[in-house]
């Protein structure tokens, strides 16, 4: 018997080997079509990513805060309108512009101010009568009181012989007015207050063609005076210049002060014309760049405005070069992108050659990232380029395609960004570092809200990479202050601010990945570990219902889960999927729990049924469980394990019973006693089939010993192999040996012998 089993085992093994060889040949035959598909896909992706470069904004290897290593000079003449800089220049010019004043003719002004006072003095020397002098003053509209008239008359009469009015009084007054007042200029009190408040310079136009600039300041003794300032100054000057008595000198200064008028008159039209000229000249300087003109000096930290100017220069340079340069740039970008894409698609084809959804998903994700890079590659929005959704591609790829495929997609995407952003190595390294951590750690996340938490950790890693790259590139970190942090936050002008935007990007990507979890299961048929960890919760409705309505089935599922987990771990399969699938593989028994042996209490209900009807009831739990799983939207992997955990095996108990009940010569149809199948299609489903059979058989052991357990496990597993139930599962003989060893270890620990504790002796009542 043992020899026959061994021969059948070897025969089956050789058949499995031949099947494996035939499949490898088919894979070789598929290499050419897959290579062609990768080649065509690489061409299309590279074209879609490179075409926008022919008319879009050309990228530059600069970002806010970038420290220029050399002087950045203009290669062509170009115009650039910086609205912010223009507005600042205009504000500066308007606040400090030159005001124009026209100067009155000197002799006309002196005649208007001095002549009435001189005539009054001549009249006083002639009449020598205060009343007549007062009448003359009233007639000439000179403000003169009677007391002042008396002082003038008495003062002139009191002068000694040799006194001359023109020599001693009139000429000194004329000299003071001409040399000390008119030469500096006189403004009205209102205009003087405005000019002092504005500061700067004024332009004085003197007839016929004279012009001079005068700066206004507290220490400038040549600036114009106000009328209110001239009157007290006249008193001081007259004290040294006019040889008359003090009362008369004061009256003369008051008379001249009352006759004063401005020598400088504001010219609004000329001022506006000069202001417009200054504006146009300044705007011309900041908007027109010549060849060789320095745009950014060496060691200067670039601002968003400087980067915008460099973009304008680059666009002008490309237009100056013509279509030949644009074509060369396009060809170069296309070849780079094509090489990178072809390598990534070939790797993906090798990893998942039989799943074109992976290739399509990667292509769609990368082209969306490329388009996002083109749209955001504009100087007016320097921080938006930090929000590239690399995390969505990596997270979705890790959950839907696996770590290897997601890492290949991440590498290709970062290469695209490096090419499209032209040398922004720090940003691409940040995405690569964060994405690598995301790819490695995401499969181990056990709950949904662990995804955004992991995203924040990846964002913090990206922040660290950006800061370290900035330090190694010579960028200053101490430029961040309380006053400018908001501006640097919205312009990305500091490494810490760029890192904060990357953290926000990773967090948003994590939330998007969380929302895409149902799409991963429905489109790619993959069950995420997050979903599996949710399903293993013993508070799940199905498990709670099993515990209440079919407790022995529930206990059976738990033990099968333990066995399947150990067996899957032994061969490197998904042990979590094997355990969770074991928990739900018998949920179909909830429809008729009393018809299954583990839940029977007393008499079996199958005693009154025919073997065929009993078989129909027993095998229906697979179909019922599958319908329940579909209605509850359990993952496809769990549904497959429910449908495949019995494969096409025979319900041996009722088949033998039917043979015994059959009349002599009657042939029992063996196919009527088989499960509907299909056979296990994955290693996890194959391990579940073995674990389910082993656990059920272990209940029949009267005296479980390591030897009997080993014999029972080997016979059951060998029987499944010989029946061909595992031929489609991907399990080989080495895997089955490892699985059986794991089962034996678990069962030995479950059925290990226990020490018999001696019973305590009853105490006899003590005699008194």
User: Between 188 and 47, where is the model more confident?
Assistant: 188
Domain annotation for the chain: domains and CATH numbers: 47-63+322-516 (no CATH), 96-272 (no CATH), 529-750 (1.10.3210)
> What is the per-residue pLDDT for 311?
75
Give the pLDDT band of residue 155 (cuts 50, 70, 90): confident
The stretch 262-266 carries a mean pLDDT of 89
Rounded to an integer, what distance in angstroms lies between the CA atom of residue 511 and that of residue 513? 5
pTM of the predicted model, to two decimals? Answer: 0.61
The stretch 152-176 carries a mean pLDDT of 78
The stretch 162-181 carries a mean pLDDT of 83
Which segment of 64-78, 552-566, 681-695 scores lowest on mean pLDDT? 64-78
User: Between 302 and 120, where is the model more confident?
Assistant: 120
> What is the per-residue pLDDT for 379?
47
Q: Name, in order, each residue with C-beta under 8 angstroms of 483's C-beta and a sequence gap of 6 or more.
A: none
Identify the three-state secondary structure at position 67.
strand
The stretch 51-60 carries a mean pLDDT of 63
The stretch 556-565 carries a mean pLDDT of 92
- pLDDT score of 172 more than 50: yes
- pLDDT score of 288 more than 80: no
- pLDDT score of 244 more than 70: yes
Per residue in 480-518, pLDDT (tens digit) is 667 666 666 666 667 888 888 889 999 999 999 988 888
Look-up of token digits 């001359």: 164
Look-up of token digits 């009393």: 594
Mean pLDDT is highest, among 355-359, 591-595, 710-714, 759-763, for: 710-714
Q: Name, in order, each residue with C-beta under 8 angstroms of 217's C-beta and a sequence gap of 6 or more.
A: 199, 223
Question: What DSSP string describes 296-336?
Answer: E-TTPBPPHHHHHHHHHHHHHHHHHH-HHHHHHHHHHHHHH
> What is the per-residue pLDDT for 56?
54
- Strands (E) in 447-520, as ranges, are none
User: Between 243 and 624, where is the model more confident?
Assistant: 624
**Average pLDDT of the chain to the nearest whole number:** 80
> What is the per-residue pLDDT for 738?
93
Q: Name, in order, each residue with C-beta under 8 angstroms of 553's C-beta and a sequence gap of 6 or more.
A: 546, 586, 589, 593, 596, 598, 599
User: Between 559 and 521, where is the model more confident?
Assistant: 559
The stretch 212-229 carries a mean pLDDT of 79
Identify the three-state secondary structure at position 207.
coil
Identify the three-state secondary structure at position 748.
helix
Structural contact between residues 31 and 274, judged by C-beta atoms closer than 8 angstroms: no
How is residue 210 annotated by DSSP?
A: E
- pLDDT score of 29 more than 50: no
Nearest residue to 704 (alpha-carbon basis) of 760, 663, 744, 751:
751
How is residue 650 annotated by DSSP?
A: B
CA 673 to chain centre: 61
Which segment of 613-622, 715-724, 744-753 scores lowest on mean pLDDT? 744-753
Structural contact between residues 680 and 688, judged by C-beta atoms closer than 8 angstroms: yes
> What is the per-residue pLDDT for 484?
65
Question: What DSSP string describes 234-303?
Answer: HHHHHHHH--S-HHHHHHHHHHHHHH---SEEE-HHHHHHHHHHHHHHHHHHHHEE-TT-EEE-TTPBPP
- Is the C-alpha dihedral spanning 526, 643, 621, 647 positive or negative? negative
> What is the per-residue pLDDT for 651?
84
Q: Name, in order, each residue with C-beta under 8 angstroms of 23's C-beta and a sequence gap of 6 or more.
A: none
Give the pLDDT band of residue 372 (cuts 50, 70, 90): confident
Structural contact between residues 458 and 398, judged by C-beta atoms closer than 8 angstroms: no
> What is the per-residue pLDDT for 673?
86
Q: Name, in order, each residue with C-beta under 8 angstroms of 270's C-beta and a sequence gap of 6 or more.
A: 100, 102, 205
Mean pLDDT is highest, among 651-660, 693-702, 725-734, for: 725-734
- pLDDT score of 689 more than 90: yes
Other Cβ atoms less than 10 A from the Cβ of 481: the count is 8
User: Between 258 and 94, where is the model more confident?
Assistant: 258
> What is the per-residue pLDDT for 1?
43
> What is the per-residue pLDDT for 33?
39
Q: Name, in order, each residue with C-beta under 8 angstroms of 225's C-beta and a sequence gap of 6 or more.
A: 181, 184, 185, 186, 187, 192, 233
287-319 b/e (C-beta count within 10 Å ≥ 16 → b): bebeeeeebbeeeebbbbbbbbbbbbbbebebe
- pLDDT score of 757 more than 60: no
Residue 38's Cβ-count burial label (10 Å; 0-12, 13-18, 19+) is buried
Rounded to an integer, what distance in angstroms lies between the CA atom of residue 734 and that of residue 194? 100
- Strands (E) in 32-142, as ranges, are 72-73, 78-79, 99-103
Q: And the tokens for 705?
A: 């010993």
Per residue in 451-477, pLDDT (tens digit) is 889 999 999 999 999 888 888 877 767
> What is the per-residue pLDDT for 20?
40
Q: How far is CA 238 from CA 174, 243, 257, 259, 753, in A?
A: 11, 8, 12, 16, 132
- pLDDT score of 313 more than 60: yes
> What is the per-residue pLDDT for 6?
45
Give the pLDDT band of residue 532 (cuts 50, 70, 90): confident
Nearest residue to 216 (alpha-carbon basis) of 102, 101, 110:
101
Structural contact between residues 565 and 583, judged by C-beta atoms closer than 8 angstroms: no
Beta-carbon-side half-sphere exposure of residue 689 (alpha carbons within 13 Å): 36
> What is the per-residue pLDDT for 644?
92
Identify the three-state secondary structure at position 15.
helix
- Is the C-alpha dihedral spanning 267, 269, 275, 281 positive or negative? negative
Bridge partners for 283 per DSSP: none
Mean pLDDT is highest, among 236-245, 379-388, 435-444, for: 435-444
The stretch 126-149 carries a mean pLDDT of 82
Nearest residue to 394 (alpha-carbon basis) of 455, 305, 462, 344:
455
Which segment of 24-38, 41-55, 82-96, 604-618 scores lowest on mean pLDDT? 24-38
Which segment of 181-185, 199-203, 479-483 scores lowest on mean pLDDT? 479-483
Given phi > 0 = left and psi -120 to 50 = alpha, else beta, which region is 540? beta
> What is the per-residue pLDDT for 539?
87
């Amino acid at each position: 018997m043992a020899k026959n089993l061994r021969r059948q085992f070897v025969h089956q093994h050789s058949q499995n080997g031949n099947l494996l060889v035939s499949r490898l040949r088919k894979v070789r035959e598929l290499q050419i079509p897959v290579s062609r598909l990768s080649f065509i896909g690489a061409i299309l992706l590279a074209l879609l990513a490179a075409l926008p470069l022919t008319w879009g904004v050309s990228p530059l290897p600069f970002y806010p805060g970038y420290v220029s290593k050399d002087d950045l000079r203009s290669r062509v003449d170009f115009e650039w309108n910086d609205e912010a800089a223009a507005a600042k220049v205009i504000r500066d010019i308007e606040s400090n512009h030159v005001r124009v004043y026209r100067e009155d003719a000197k002799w006309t002004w002196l005649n208007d101010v001095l002549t009435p006072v001189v005539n009054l003095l001549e009249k006083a020397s002639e009449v020598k009568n205060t009343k007549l002098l007062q009448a003359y003053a009233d007639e000439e509209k000179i403000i003169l009181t009677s007391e002042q008239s008396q002082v003038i008359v008495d003062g002139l009469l009191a002068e000694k012989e040799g006194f001359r009015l023109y020599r001693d009084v009139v000429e000194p007054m004329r000299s003071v007015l001409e040399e000390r007042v008119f030469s500096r200029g006189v403004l009205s009190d209102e205009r003087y207050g405005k000019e002092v408040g504005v500061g700067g310079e004024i332009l004085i136009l003197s007839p016929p063609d004279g012009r001079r600039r005068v700066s206004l300041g507290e220490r400038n003794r040549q600036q114009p005076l106000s009328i209110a300032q001239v009157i007290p100054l006249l008193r001081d000057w007259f004290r040294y210049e006019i040889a008359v008595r003090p009362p008369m000198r004061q009256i003369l200064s008051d008379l001249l002060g009352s006759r004063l008028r401005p020598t400088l008159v504001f010219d609004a039209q000329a001022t506006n014309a000069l202001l417009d000229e200054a504006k146009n000249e300044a705007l011309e300087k900041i908007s027109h760049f010549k060849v060789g003109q320095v745009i950014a000096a060496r060691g200067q930290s670039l601002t968003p405005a400087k980067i915008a100017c460099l973009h304008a220069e680059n666009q002008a340079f490309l237009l100056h070069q013509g279509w030949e340069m644009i074509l060369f740039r396009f060809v170069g970008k296309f070849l780079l992108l094509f090489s990178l894409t072809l390598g990534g698609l070939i790797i993906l084809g090798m990893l998942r050659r039989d799943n074109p959804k992976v290739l399509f998903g990667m292509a769609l994700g990368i082209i969306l990232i490329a388009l996002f890079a083109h749209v955001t590659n504009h100087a007016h929005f320097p921080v938006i380029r930090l929000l590239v959704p690399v995390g969505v591609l990596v997270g979705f790829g890790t959950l839907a395609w696996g770590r290897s495929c997601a890492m290949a997609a991440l590498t290709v995407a970062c290469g695209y960004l490096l090419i499209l952003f032209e040398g922004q190595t720090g940003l691409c390294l940040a995405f690569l570092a964060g994405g690598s951590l995301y790819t490695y750690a995401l499969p181990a996340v056990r709950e949904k809200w662990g995804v955004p938490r992991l995203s924040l950790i990846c964002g913090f890693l990206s922040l660290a990479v950006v800061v370290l790259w900035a330090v190694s590139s010579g960028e200053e970190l101490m430029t961040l202050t309380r006053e400018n942090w908001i501006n640097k936050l919205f312009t990305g002008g500091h490494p810490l601010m760029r890192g904060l935007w990357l953290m926000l990007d990773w967090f948003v990507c994590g939330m998007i990945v969380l929302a895409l979890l149902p799409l991963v299961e429905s489109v790619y048929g993959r069950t995420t570990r997050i979903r599996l960890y949710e399903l293993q919760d013993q508070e799940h409705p199905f498990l709670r219902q099993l515990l209440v309505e079919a407790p022995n089935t529930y206990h059976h599922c738990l033990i099968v889960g333990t066995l399947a987990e150990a067996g899957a771990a032994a061969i490197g399969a998904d042990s979590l999927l094997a355990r969770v699938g074991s928990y739900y593989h018998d949920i179909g028994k909830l429809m008729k729990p009393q018809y299954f042996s583990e839940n029977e209490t007393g008499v079996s209900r199958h005693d009154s049924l025919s073997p065929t009807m009993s078989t129909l009831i027993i095998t229906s739990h697979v179909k019922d469980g599958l319908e329940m799983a579909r209605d509850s939207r359990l993952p496809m992997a769990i549904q497959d394990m429910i449908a495949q955990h019995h494969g096409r095996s025979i319900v041996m108990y009722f088949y033998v019973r039917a043979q015994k009940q059959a009349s002599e010569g009657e042939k029992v149809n063996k196919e009527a006693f088989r499960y509907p199948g299909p056979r296990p299609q994955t290693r996890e489903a194959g391990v579940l089939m073995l674990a389910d059979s082993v656990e059920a058989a272990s209940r029949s052991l009267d005296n479980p010993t390591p030897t009997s357990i080993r014999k029972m496990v080997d016979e059951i597993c060998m029987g499944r192999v010989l029946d061909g139930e595992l031929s489609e599962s991907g399990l080989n003989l080495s895997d089955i040996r490892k699985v059986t060893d794991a089962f034996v270890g678990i069962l030995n620990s479950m059925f290990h012998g226990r020490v018999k504790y001696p019973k305590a002796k009853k105490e006899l009542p003590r005699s008194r």
